Chains A and B, each alone.
Chain A
Amino acid sequence: MNPANDVALENERPRVDIRQKITGAARYTADQQPARMIFAKAVRFPYGAGKVVSADVEAAKKVKGVLEVEVDMEEVAEYPGAPIGHIVAESRAAIEDAEEALALKFERTAPKTDPVALHKAPESPQGGVFEGAAAVVEGTWRTQVQTHSCLEPHGSVVDHRGASAEVWGSTQTTFGHLDGMKGPTGLDASQIVVHCEYVGGGFGSKFGIGREGDLAARMSKKYQRPCKAMLDRSEEHLDGGNRPGSIQYIKLAADKDGKLLGGRMDLVSIVGHGRGGGGVAGLGDVYDLGAIEETESEINLNFAKPRAFRAPGWPQAVFALEGALDALAAKLGMDPIAFRIKNDKSQRRKERQYRVGADLIGWKDRKPDGTATGRVRRGFGMGSALWPTWPTKCGAQADIFRSGRVEVRVGVQDIGTGTFTLVTDVAAHELGIDRDLVTGRVGDSRFPAGPGSGGSQVSRSAAPATVNAVRDALDQLKASVASEWKIDKEKVKYGKGTFSTEDGAKKLEWAKACALLADEKVTGNGRTETGTEGSGTSDCVQFAEVEVDTETGIVRVKKIVAVHAAGVVVNRLTFENQICGGVIQGISYALFENVRLDPKTGAMVNADFIGYKIAGSKDIPEIVPVLDVEPGDTGVRPIGEPSTIPTAAAIANAVSNAIGARIMELPITPQRVLAALESKGGAA
């Protein structure tokens, strides 16, 4: 933001919308219930592949409250949950009754559900860097398909009124939603208003209006009534987004001093029936890996296409690479941190983050891999990551009212990360006034445009845009004061709520100055064209301490230390909240989450929150978020994505350290731990 400003922005007040979130007053898209609303829902194919062979559409149409039913008998479905039609009705219950009345009969074809069976193991490369290397590690790491599992499912409520439409969207991009609604509503952006004040999570899966948004818009237009189309929990798993799985063959060589020489990586993404989701990414960004020969390919399964998922490609890549690095360090007889310092590209990590994290986790208690004894064994592990920045445009508007109150408006959405709080606190800090005088408003397409919540770019762009808008409004207020004092505007000084003349002879407090305004309010506009003011790469390292019960294979994560460069932290609580959220999602990915496809029918057998296991309160350890600052940190840096990247890698390395066998596959279930203990195999 402004290097000249003091950067002690950090405050510890609860997020501004905490009361709304805790009491349920926050109204999400799923909560919207305009009068005369109708409901729409897709009819979905339940199995891996095939088509509908019979549907009693007439019976479904006869169900009380049903407005229309369509089933596409020609559609060849390629994944469980593939939409093959839709039902529109007066209530959700009527839709379900119509689904039953449809009495769909299907023809199934053999689904592709097993990526390992479809994977061709590469031949082990010889010669080159491997010749004469002091240590070589070779192995195949695998990761599962993970669903985004947003608590608020995907969906929209659209109220089409002929020449205008009001839209509520559970989306990561207010303006993407606006754009997407143009087609199905047949309206111009000037005729559409999109609301998304409160969004119950997205994690990368809520870009674009989706088929559900499209359906809601078309049906609202057709019936000229508000229409709601929200996915249910099963649909959310099946067709609400997923992180691609991976099969990563890695062979790496290092010299006797621990310097990486290079090697070979065959990276295969498991991508459902399409492409996307970021594959396996980021491998060469953290460490100087030497001369790497890399291939990338894909395996298609009969499952929904992947979508971007909180650091697309990264958690899976870092899990495999950090596992290979630990294996190499062990072969060289080096401490894993010393080994990484030899190869790390980041000064921050080398000079500070490794040391700080190691101290806090108790790294000195770490024993060499596999030397722990007893039934319950303790292990320590770590993993590193980063997140970059790139140019992002964002606008903001700020009103200063005659009453002394301030309103800041930024069109971007708050997907739970604290955008409301960010713009409020930034404006209050910039003006040097109490936060209670400021109202932050976000998630409305009538406000200045800004980016989607993807790639951790909202905070770092909304913050400088807000500063600029507030300064513009303040400038206008200064003009009023100058006019009152009959001096030039440039001669009015301002700081911490007080206006003064250069010589300090005249002073005016905030409220009295605002009262001078000729109109009810002045409005300032602000922008950033880059969103990188004072920002930079978010380097991080996370450490894990685990206990493994070697009799049952059950892993308990005891502690995670997460050291993150986050630049200027606007609000300490939202920073810690974001880091803890990322770590919890990482723990859940490391130990539990897994899409299970039936090998015969291709159905996802665990498309709920019972069979699809997500970390619960007792699975969550002590989490220590550490803000890594250094002189020159003057802007806001990304933390949304990096906070979840290295968690699984750190846990896997800690488990490997505890049991003396490498964990080669996520999730780290008791089954896999017991198998690893039995074989003591893995990377060799």
Chain B
Amino acid sequence: MIIEGIISCGICLTGYVLLINFPDKADGFLKPDEKAFVIERINADRGDAETDEITRKKILAHLKDWKLYCWSFLILSAVVPGFSYNFYTPLILRQGMGYTVTESQLLTAPPFICAALITFLSSLISDKFKIRGPVLVFHHTLTIVGMFVTAYVKNPAARYFGVFLGLGMVQYIPMVTLAWQANNIKSTSKRAVASATALIGSGIGGMISGGAFKTSESPTYEVRYLHDLDHFAPITIVLTVL
């Protein structure tokens, strides 16, 4: 165990040399003309390439912005079903669909591979057409469809398709929410605070989903899916406000 730790610490020390700093402080990493180019294009886009000092006063001021908590809530709403799928897909496959332990372990992988590809494809579309909200709503809608299929259809193959659909679509949502939030924030200090507040939603969502699938609801876990759907309902309100 100690030897393993030494390897990690050794790799970490190389990070002090290799990890890059913010664009305006990356003197050893970029040549002066490269640095000027990067700063210029970021300033042309959103005007906050120069980092501002993060003080306690600024953090408190940023924390008073109610819109930051909307992002947090959006992420919370997405990670509850997301974490549930992460934690319990083998359980769904084993108890809900009748696969063996080995099969359920192995069948966990394909939906996640599908989710990774969908995430990247949707991000390309989102960036190309410069839209975030409609793509987010599309993913939410198909996640709900996937969860209904997983919860209520009796055929195991169709239920597995529901896992593909639900899990494949929901994985994109926290990522695009963070990207959407980053698009709407100016100044490095606020970006740092906003990242923290947004990901607090992720932590709280993890707390909720940690006890999601009750043994007493086995093997269908229908109440659990309804619980996850509860978290999607307020998203409509938050998206409308934003």
**A and B co-occur in one complex:** no
